[in-house]
């Protein structure tokens, strides 16, 4: 069908048009990259605000832009612990650091290394430490620790032993025949939180809803380029790619070591995989749109033709490395839109040859065979048969790909009759809007998650006011310095208003406690936080004004908030329960086609969080939520309500004080309707508790009791609905 040059030329152009229609365009690729890297920067800054020495990196298809809606690509997150100092030369040892020496011996798998813990840069001292651990039995060691430290080793050496034992010697280290302390790659399995599981080197969250699955890998970073990858810096192919600039950037990025051993190695629990994922990011970012489409097409072929028979044997990462070799060894002018099908077939032939040899060399460390131990004798013929079918089909196999309706779209582009009911697809503009909306919604969700974590840490702290000021100072410092790039400044612009509102509420709470008007400082901070999103900053201000007795101003703020809260557009986002797969509103999607993260202030409504230090800015009905915590949660207690129900609740209270019964009843009806009809409430049980207390004021006790019971059904544990039920029943019995 497409063998002739002209046919192949035309079919490649039509296939390129199909990819543009499904969202694989230069514009959308760049937008995906920006938003994912923004979330990566947000996580790193959040770690900084928590006082943690961690950095977060996002890798894989989402950050590369090498995906489509139908592929449902996952998100690979690498969390780097910078407390460990990885070196490849003992002369780079640093004091007061956990120094780990990367090295290989005769039994280490290619692409892997061992990590030796160095107490000093003196090999003799390090050998002596290993001998101590080797000679003292694990059981007796804990009993005679004081004697060992006091009689065998001096004070500095003893501190090192205490540091090692603090992490658990048995869990962390193995002493080899040369008395070297080798760090195990298995120690993290004893430290993962509940609800998480290991998936190879990655830690995955169970039952985590989101736009994509999240695998989190813990790794250590070395500033030095790995010795095994040095030849790659000098290698040059026909395509004159990668450029010298990319190689310089890659070398400067260093490498990570990931806690997983080679399957063919004899030291599986001691080996650490060398990851050059930062360098691979630079490589992916340098690809043109035809090369990206070729890679996506390979992934679609895997998912369509190999998922049921040989799922997971050939990975998208193998396809990526095959693509890299093709780009390196083919003239750059061959990678044009009208040659897409030819280039795809070349990649598939190269992949088939890898299966025949059972060897897919890593692009940067070729000695590392990505297929080692992956292909069984039973599966090899199946893999070859599938690849041969696609290669010999003369691109007809592509017509069978259902992902993003690619096959059917391709037929339509080629003016071939389609015997299918599905002839109506999202337009290119609609796909762009859909993806943009998902990206912005995900960014909003990440903001909510990080805020939840930060406020949990601050919530039980008596010095919360000082902590919030410290966070704002850190954010302002990040914004003004060159430590982070432009994305870091964007994160600061998103975070600063949210923490400004919290600081304003804390100061106002202190003012109300002393029976003084809300200070100008508090109002200034409230003002700085008004545009954090559509509603949460404004509702914090309205709540403070209500609690201070300024009902007229509170009513004005609530009315203006209701005016800008378009329920057909605004998406309520709650980060308290992790990422959630949402049914995104149509108008939200339309709005998101025109911008990036700056749109959050116009289309997102975060939930309202009230910490104990803000208690006086919180109506007494919501204060129950704070004091309803169990003893285990007392340090992290906070009241949280979704914006829209809280807006109507405050209106009910304010209109009551202003003696405006019509407005009060209207607010009550809106509150009840929102609880019944809004599908995306993160704290529906809290809204029901607030509604129940309003109904009690209306003397509708049975309806109030129903609200509390429904609330308890939603969240059986740690729910103040129990208190409300007991209180209400007691009141009814006594009356």
3-state secondary structure 429-477: HHHHHHHHHHHHHHHHHHHHHHHHHHHHHHHCCCCHHHHHHHHHHHHHH
pLDDT at 156: 39
Could you tell me whether strands 98-103 and 84-87 are parallel, antiparallel, or unpaired per DSSP bridges?
Answer: parallel
Rounded average pLDDT over 156-168 = 46
pLDDT exceeds cutoff 90 at 418: no
pLDDT given for residue 161 in this prediction? 46
Give yes or no: residues 246 and 318 share one domain.
Answer: yes
Task: Dump pLDDT digits (tens) for 186-198.
Answer: 876 554 444 444 4
One domain for residues 268 and 415: yes
Write down the pLDDT at residue 394. Answer: 83
Phi, psi of 118, deg, nearest 5: -105, 120
Q: Is residue 125 part of a domain?
A: no
Q: Is residue 318 part of a domain?
A: yes
Domain harbouring 269, CATH code: 1.10.1410.40
The rounded Cα 680 to chain-centroid distance in angstroms is 21
Asked whether residue 399 is assigned to any structural domain, the reply reads yes
Give the model's pLDDT for residue 143: 41
The pLDDT mean for the chain works out to 86
Domain-embedded: residue 91: no
pLDDT band at 266; cut points 50, 70, 90: low
- Mean pLDDT across the stretch 249-257? 96
Assign 155 a pLDDT band (cuts: 50, 70, 90): very low
Within a 10 A sphere around the Cβ of 91, how many other Cβ atoms?
A: 7
Would 118 be classed as within a structural domain?
Answer: no
Given a cut of 80, is residue 213 above it in pLDDT? no
State residue 196's pLDDT score.
41
**Is the per-residue pLDDT at 200 higher than 70?**
no
| pLDDT at 30 exceeding the cut of 60 | yes
Band (258; pLDDT cuts 50, 70, 90): very high
Residue 274's SS3 state is strand
Give the DSSP H or E segment for 641. strand 639-641
Between 29 and 93, the higher pLDDT residue: 29
Choosing from 356, 390, 425, the residue where a domain stops is 425
Are residues 380 and 467 both part of a single domain? no
Higher pLDDT, 462 or 651: 651
Ramachandran bin of 675, using left for φ above 0, alpha for ψ from -120 to 50, beta for the remaining angles = alpha
Confidence bin at 127 (pLDDT 50/70/90): low
Taking CB atoms within 8 Å and a gap of at least 24, the contacts of 626-634 are 627/720, 628/718, 628/719, 628/720, 628/722, 628/723, 629/718, 630/717, 630/718, 633/718, 634/460
Is residue 166 scored above 90 in pLDDT?
A: no
Tokens of 609: 């969080």
Residues 378 and 453 in one domain: no
Q: Is residue 183 within 8 Å of residue 117, measured between CB atoms?
A: yes
* 315, 443: one domain: no
678 and 705 both lie in a single domain: yes
Domain count, the chain: 2
Range of the domain at 698: 430-734
CATH number of the domain that residue 587 is part of? 1.25.40.10
Is residue 394 located within the same domain as residue 440? no
Supply the pLDDT for residue 176: 83
Whether residue 697 is found in the same domain as residue 610? yes
Shared-domain flag, residues 255 and 372: yes
Residue 143 lies in a domain: no
Give the tens place of pLDDT for each residue, 33-68: 999 999 999 999 999 998 888 999 999 999 999 999
Choice between 533 and 105, residue whose per-residue pLDDT is larger: 533
Q: How confident is the model at residue 580 (pLDDT cuts 50, 70, 90)?
A: low
Residue 460 maps to a domain? yes
Tell me if 551 is assigned to some domain: yes
Question: In sequence order, what DSSP letters do the residues of 70-137 get, joined into one string?
Answer: GG---EEEEEEETTEEEESSGGG--TTSEEEEEE--TTSPTTEEEEEEESSS-HHHHHHHHHHHHHS-
Check whether 6 has a pLDDT greater than 80: no
Instruction: Say what the pLDDT of residue 421 is.
Output: 57
Least confident of 346-355, 476-485, 669-678: 476-485
Above 80 in pLDDT, residue 170? no
Range among 70-84, 153-167, 297-311, 652-666 with highest mean pLDDT value: 652-666
Residues 396 and 437 in one domain: no
Task: Clarify whether residues 692 and 723 are in a common domain.
Answer: yes
Mean pLDDT over residues 107-114, rounded? 91
Based on the fold, state whether residues 18 and 71 are members of the same structural domain: yes
Structural domain ending residue among the three candidates 378, 393, 425: 425
Q: What is the pLDDT of residue 195?
A: 40
Mean pLDDT of 71-87: 88
What mean pLDDT is predicted for residues 208-225? 70
Unique residue bearing structure tokens 């129990």: 722
- Looking at residue 589, its pLDDT comes to 93
Domain edge (last residue) among 425, 450, 476:
425
How large is the average pLDDT for residues 643-664?
A: 97
Which pLDDT band, with edges at 50, 70 and 90, does 543 fall under? Answer: very high
């Amino acid at each position: 069908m497409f063998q002739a040059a002209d046919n192949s030329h035309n079919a490649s152009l039509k296939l390129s048009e199909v990819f543009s229609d499904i969202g694989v365009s230069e514009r959308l690729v760049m937008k995906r990259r920006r938003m994912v890297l923004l979330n990566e920067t947000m996580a790193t800054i959040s770690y900084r605000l928590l006082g943690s020495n961690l950095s977060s990196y996002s890798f894989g298809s989402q950050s590369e832009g090498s995906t489509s809606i139908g592929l449902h690509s996952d998100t690979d997150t690498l969390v780097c612990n910078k407390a460990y100092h990885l070196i490849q030369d003992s002369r780079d040892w640093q004091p007061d650091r956990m120094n780990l020496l990367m090295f290989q011996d005769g039994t280490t798998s290619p692409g892997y290394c061992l990590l030796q813990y160095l107490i000093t840069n003196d090999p003799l001292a390090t050998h002596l430490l290993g001998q101590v651990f080797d000679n003292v039995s694990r059981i007796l060691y804990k009993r005679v620790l004081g004697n060992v430290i006091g009689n065998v080793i001096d004070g500095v050496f003893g501190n090192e032993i205490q540091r090692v034992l603090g992490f658990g010697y048995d869990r962390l280290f193995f002493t080899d025949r040369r008395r070297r302390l080798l760090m195990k790659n298995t120690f993290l399995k004893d430290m993962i939180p509940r609800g998480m599981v290991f998936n190879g080197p990655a830690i995955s969250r169970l039952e985590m809803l989101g736009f994509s699955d999240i695998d989190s890998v813990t790794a250590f970073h070395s500033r030095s380029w790995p010795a095994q990858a040095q030849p790659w810096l000098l290698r040059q192919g026909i395509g004159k790619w990668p450029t010298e600039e990319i190689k310089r950037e890659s070398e400067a990025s260093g490498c990570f070591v990931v806690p997983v051993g080679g399957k063919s190695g004899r030291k599986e629990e001691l080996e650490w995989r060398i990851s050059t994922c930062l360098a691979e990011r630079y490589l992916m970012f340098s690809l043109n749109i035809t090369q990206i489409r070729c890679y996506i097409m390979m992934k679609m072929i895997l998912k369509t033709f190999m998922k049921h028979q040989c799922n997971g044997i050939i990975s998208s990462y193998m396809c990526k490395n095959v693509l890299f070799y093709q780009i390196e060894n083919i003239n750059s002018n061959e990678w044009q839109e009208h040659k897409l099908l030819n280039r795809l077939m070349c990649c598939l032939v190269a992949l088939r040859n890898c299966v025949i040899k059972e060897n897919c060399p890593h692009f940067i460390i070729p000695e590392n065979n990505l297929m080692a131990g992956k292909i069984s004798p039973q599966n090899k013929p199946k893999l070859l048969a599938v690849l041969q079918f696609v290669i010999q089909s003369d691109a007809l196999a592509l017509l069978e790909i259902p992902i993003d309706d690619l096959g059917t779209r391709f037929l339509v582009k080629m003016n071939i009759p389609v015997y299918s009911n599905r002839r109506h697809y999202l337009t290119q503009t609609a796909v762009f809007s859909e993806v943009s909306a998902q990206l912005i919604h995900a960014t909003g969700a990440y903001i909510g998650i990080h805020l939840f974590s930060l406020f949990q840490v601050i919530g039980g702290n008596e010095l919360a006011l000082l902590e919030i000021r410290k966070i704002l100072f850190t954010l302002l410092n990040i914004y003004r310095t060159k430590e982070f790039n432009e994305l870091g400044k964007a994160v600061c612009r998103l975070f600063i208003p949210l923490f400004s509102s919290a600081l304003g509420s804390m100061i106002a709470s202190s003012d109300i406690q002393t029976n003084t008007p809300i200070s100008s400082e508090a109002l200034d901070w409230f003002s700085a936080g008004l545009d954090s999103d559509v509603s949460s900053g404004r509702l914090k201000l309205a709540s403070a004004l209500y609690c201070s007795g300024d009902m007229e101003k509170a009513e004005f703020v609530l009315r203006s908030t209701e005016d800008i809260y378009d329920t057909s557009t605004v998406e309520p986002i709650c980060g308290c329960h992790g990422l959630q797969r949402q049914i995104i509103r149509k108008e939200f999607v339309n709005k998101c086609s025109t911008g990036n993260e700056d749109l959050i202030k116009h289309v997102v409504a975060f939930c309202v969080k009230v910490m104990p230090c803000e208690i006086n800015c919180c109506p007494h009905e919501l204060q129950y939520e704070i004091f309803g915590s169990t003893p285990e949660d007392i340090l992290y207690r906070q009241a949280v309500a979704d914006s829209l129900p809280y807006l109507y609740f405050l209106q009910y209270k304010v209109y009551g004080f202003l003696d405006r019964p019509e407005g009060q009843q209207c607010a009550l009806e809106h509150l009840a309707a929102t609880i019944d009809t809004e599908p995306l409430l993160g704290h529906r049980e809290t809204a029901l508790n607030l509604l129940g207390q309003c109904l009690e004021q209306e003397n509708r006790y049975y309806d109030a009791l129903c609200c509390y019971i429904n609330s308890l059904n939603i969240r059986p544990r740690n729910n103040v609905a129990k208190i409300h039920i007991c209180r209400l029943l007691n009141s009814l019995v006594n009356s």
